[in-house]
Amino acid sequence: MIDQSGVRVRDEIEIAFVADEAATIPVFAQLARTVVNEILRGRLAPGQRLPSSRRLAAQWAVHRNTVLSALDELAAEGWVETRAGAGCWVSTTLPERPPPRGGARGGASAPGFAAEPGFAMGEPLWQALATMPPSRPGAYFMAGGQPDLRLLPREMLSRAWRRAVRDAGSKVLSYGDPRGALRLRRAVASWCAARRDLAVGAREVMITRGSQGALDLLSRAFLRPGEHVAVEALGYGPAWVSLRAAGATLWPVAVDDQGLDVEALEALARKRTLRAVYVTPHHQYPTMVTLSASRRLRLLDLARRHGLLVIEDDYDHEFHHEGRAVMPLASADAHGHVVYVGTFSKIVAPGLRVGFVVAPEPVIARLAQWRRAVDRQGDLTVETALAELLEEGALQAHARRMQKVYGQRRTALRDALGAHLAGVVEAHPTAGGMALWAEVSPKYDVERWSAASAEAGVIFATARRFAFDQRPRPFVRLGFAPLDPGELVACVKTMKRCLNEARV
């Protein structure tokens, strides 16, 4: 049938839903995920009208306000569109998606994942990253995404570490599984199921030396010298180092206000035989934008058609300040192409060096082979301590506290920029993260401004540091997480005093 607007629609569909009372996410979020899953399965097509909120409330036996909250969530993520007086529709910008074939995510059929590792490493090709000015006592560091270590519950962490040594004894002080402590892998699997919509078990989790350790292992295990890998043109330099060290040839793909340009990626895939793509879809690094729903589906479909390995780096998932966090690409991956990388560095502390990989079991097995050759295993004492904190909910509670604190600091920095640097710096609207991405007026040389500010004690990063081509651009990245509101105001005032030295 065709509606009055000329859009082809199907007959009204029944969407089954039963609330999980034991789930840690609210019912409206469960409803939203149900609708997303129906879109991914192909039961709901682009342009298809959803039943009315009253009908959905009756179908699902929930209050209408709960349904409206779910629809608001879906609209914010780009899955649906609302039309005044006409109801709610599946977004017309989403690509047509055939129902997934095969079944469970991953499986041994995932392309090339179960093959022999192939230890031919090739000549490492290291790229010198643009360096930041050295920090000095009294300087404010706004360049990175470090958490505020002053707020780390050190006593809680040290007690858990002592209990791990006391109770586990030789088990944590001896050789162990290269995949990581089983207790932590189980805890991470449960955490990812509850907070990231990743239905995985311990066999699909590997604990690594931070996210950087995960990227290094993935590069070693799945890339051969000369293979082509796509990366974001503004992106995370240390990941490029790991990819190049494995001998990969990197190809930059443009990023805009919807994240990675998937059309440009597809054009590249037609010219080059791509092996992998490295992406930061939740909070794109460094611009902090979220990859749109339509591009997420196109990227997954592109990976399926071209047999791409998608390395999804979700480095700060917990710190989403407007609406709910968008679920990972991996949660919608029915064909086993996405390898999900996470870290505890932003929640706890980067010095602990604990990250994790979530992937089909053949991927984890292959990574474990390489782990034995690289550093054998991680720190089982720290891993056991973190497992206890996750099991007790203490780590989750700390993350919630930090999300609130960082949200307040984000507001404080935006207010300070508006009060003291209006007309000079315009922060781009983003929904989450630990930093702001801001455009600088062409009246000022952003590189000279950064250098002058660093000399005055405020260190921030310009776009050049993140650019694949190393060309300057009129943008800066301002990290707010490690500084309290008073310190952020002081930073902005210092930056203002340095403007004269940067005037064009």
**Residues 43-68: pLDDT tens digits?**
787 878 888 888 888 888 888 888 88
* pLDDT at residue 9, rounded to an integer: 38
Q: What does the pLDDT look like over 133-170, one tens digit per residue?
A: 445 556 899 987 789 989 988 888 888 888 877 776 67
* pLDDT at residue 113, rounded to an integer: 46
How many CA atoms does the CB half-sphere of 429 hold within 13 Å? 2
Q: Where does the pLDDT of residue 129 fall: very low under 50, low under 70, confident under 90, or very high at 90 and above?
A: very low
Q: Are 291 and 324 in contact (CB under 8 A)?
A: no
Residue 434 has pLDDT above 50, yes or no: yes
Q: Out of 92-101, 117-126, 254-263, which region has the weakest mean confidence (pLDDT)?
A: 117-126
* pLDDT at residue 22, rounded to an integer: 61
**Which CA distances in Å does 25 have to 175, 192, 325, 345?**
37, 12, 11, 24
Amino acid in position 412 = A
Helix (H/G/I), strand (E/B), else coil: 252: strand
* pLDDT at residue 176, rounded to an integer: 77
* pLDDT at residue 480, rounded to an integer: 94
Mean pLDDT on 226-238? 95
* pLDDT at residue 99, rounded to an integer: 44
Closest to 315 in 3D by CA, of 384, 230, 238:
238
By DSSP bridging, strand 309-313 and strand 338-343 are: parallel
Residue 432 has pLDDT above 90, yes or no: no
Mean pLDDT on 105-130? 37
Q: Where does the pLDDT of residue 253 fall: very low under 50, low under 70, confident under 90, or very high at 90 and above?
A: very high
Task: Write down the mean pLDDT value for the chain.
Answer: 84
Helix (H/G/I), strand (E/B), else coil: 475: strand
Mean pLDDT on 252-260? 95
* pLDDT at residue 8, rounded to an integer: 40
Residue 34 has pLDDT above 90, yes or no: no
* pLDDT at residue 284, rounded to an integer: 95
Mean pLDDT on 299-307? 94
| 92 or 132, higher pLDDT | 92
| 9 or 278, higher pLDDT | 278
**Which CA distances in Å does 352 have to 109, 161, 188, 317?**
35, 12, 16, 18
Residue 387 has pLDDT above 80, yes or no: yes
Q: What does the pLDDT look like over 445-464, one tens digit per residue?
A: 999 999 999 999 999 999 99
* pLDDT at residue 105, rounded to an integer: 46
Q: Where does the pLDDT of residue 12 fall: very low under 50, low under 70, confident under 90, or very high at 90 and above?
A: low
Residue written as token pair 């509850």: 194
User: 189-193 long-range contacts, Cβ below 8 Å, gap at least 24?
Assistant: 189/358, 190/390, 191/390, 191/396, 192/340, 192/342, 192/358
| 277 or 117, higher pLDDT | 277
Q: Where does the pLDDT of residue 225 fall: very low under 50, low under 70, confident under 90, or very high at 90 and above?
A: very high
How many CA atoms does the CB half-sphere of 25 hold within 13 Å? 20
Q: What does the pLDDT look like over 325-346, one tens digit per residue?
A: 888 999 998 889 999 999 998 9
Mean pLDDT on 359-384? 87
Stated pTM of the model: 0.79
Mean pLDDT on 96-121? 42
Residue 116 has pLDDT above 70, yes or no: no
Q: Where does the pLDDT of residue 504 fall: very low under 50, low under 70, confident under 90, or very high at 90 and above?
A: confident
* pLDDT at residue 126, rounded to an integer: 30
**Which CA distances in Å does 6 have to 1, 2, 3, 47, 245?**
10, 6, 5, 10, 53
* pLDDT at residue 169, rounded to an integer: 67
Amino acid in position 405 = V
Mean pLDDT on 454-477? 93
Mean pLDDT on 356-378? 89
Q: Where does the pLDDT of residue 2 fall: very low under 50, low under 70, confident under 90, or very high at 90 and above?
A: very low
Mean pLDDT on 343-352? 88
Ordered structural domains, the chain, with CATH: 1-94 (1.10.10.10), 140-151+397-502 (3.90.1150.10), 154-392 (3.40.640.10)
Q: Which two tokens stand for residue 464?
A: 């050049």
* pLDDT at residue 144, rounded to an integer: 75
| 195 or 284, higher pLDDT | 284
* pLDDT at residue 334, rounded to an integer: 87
Mean pLDDT on 372-377? 81
